[in-house]
Amino acid sequence: MALKINKGKADELFNFTPMIDVVFNLLLFFMVASNFADAEQKIDLNLPQASEAQPLTKEPVEISININQQGQYFTGKRELTLAELEAFLQQSAINNPNNQRVIIRADKRVQFDHVVAATNACEKAGLRDHATSVEDAP
């Protein structure tokens, strides 16, 4: 007597033919589209040159405010008072109103009031993209 094993019907339900057709059509579409893009770049044109042209979007330089153990503020190698720092940040906000980033780096031994004052100066200037890190002095 022969034993009949029921293997199920999962193999019968899934048909690969439509999926292969779709993948083949996508492949053809992208091959043809890339050829058209290349053809547009190969047209021989003598384009005019602009002598004073500037890029439309320029990434602003990230401002770094360093605070040493004594609570002195530095941008670059220049020491600033809190009032000078506020004026500097106001000018930076005017120059780059939407995307000026500020990094506040403080010595871990500094009083936290100085870090809060620098953060408040950023907020007064309207610079919302600022981050604070507390580090050991070199």
The verdict on domain 63-135 having CATH code 3.30.420.270 is: yes
| Total-model pTM | 0.55
* Residue ranges per structural domain of the chain: 63-135
Closest CA to 120 of 108, 97, 102: 102
- For 52-95, the pLDDT digits (tens) are 766 655 566 788 999 998 999 999 888 999 999 999 999 988 88
Tokens for 32, please give them: 């043809």
Q: pLDDT at residue 47 above 70?
A: no
Q: Which residue has the higher pLDDT, 59 or 106?
A: 106
C-alpha distances (whole Å) from 57 to each of 42, 48, 54, 78, 98 are 27, 21, 9, 28, 12
With both helix axes pointing from N to C terminus, report the angle between 112-125 and 82-95 in degrees, rounded to the nearest 10.
Answer: 30
Question: What's residue 133's pLDDT?
Answer: 78
* Confidence bin at 1 (pLDDT 50/70/90): low
